[in-house]
Amino acid sequence: KKGAYILANDIKLPIVPLTINGSFEVLPATKKINFVKRHQLTLTIHKPIPYDETKDLATLIEESRQVIEQGLFKD
């Protein structure tokens, strides 16, 4: 969501990307079920992206998206 990026940019804080692996196995979006399956989840906390006043909002969002995608398990 853009709000987190706007807030971090306004108060000059770094962005810390997070990757959650395994959430699809816990609650698949393709099935109509009323319960979750037990499955291991992995949370990866990536290196912070430092505040840089020269970067616009779209650049920050894209940079963090790339970091998060690199952290996803590839099957």
Instruction: Name, in order, each residue with C-beta under 8 angstroms of 55's C-beta and a sequence gap of 6 or more.
Output: 63
pTM comes to: 0.75
What pLDDT does 62 receive? 94
- Is 42 exposed, middle or buried, given 0-12, 13-18 or 19+ CB atoms closer than 10 A? exposed
Q: How crowded is residue 63: how many other Cβ atoms within 10 Å of its Cβ? A: 15
Dump pLDDT digits (tens) for 11-59.
999 999 999 888 888 777 776 766 777 888 899 999 999 999 898 999 9
Helices (H), ranges, the chain:
2-10, 23-26, 57-70
Closest CA to 19 of 58, 69, 66, 59: 69
Q: How confident is the model at residue 74 (pLDDT cuts 50, 70, 90)?
A: low
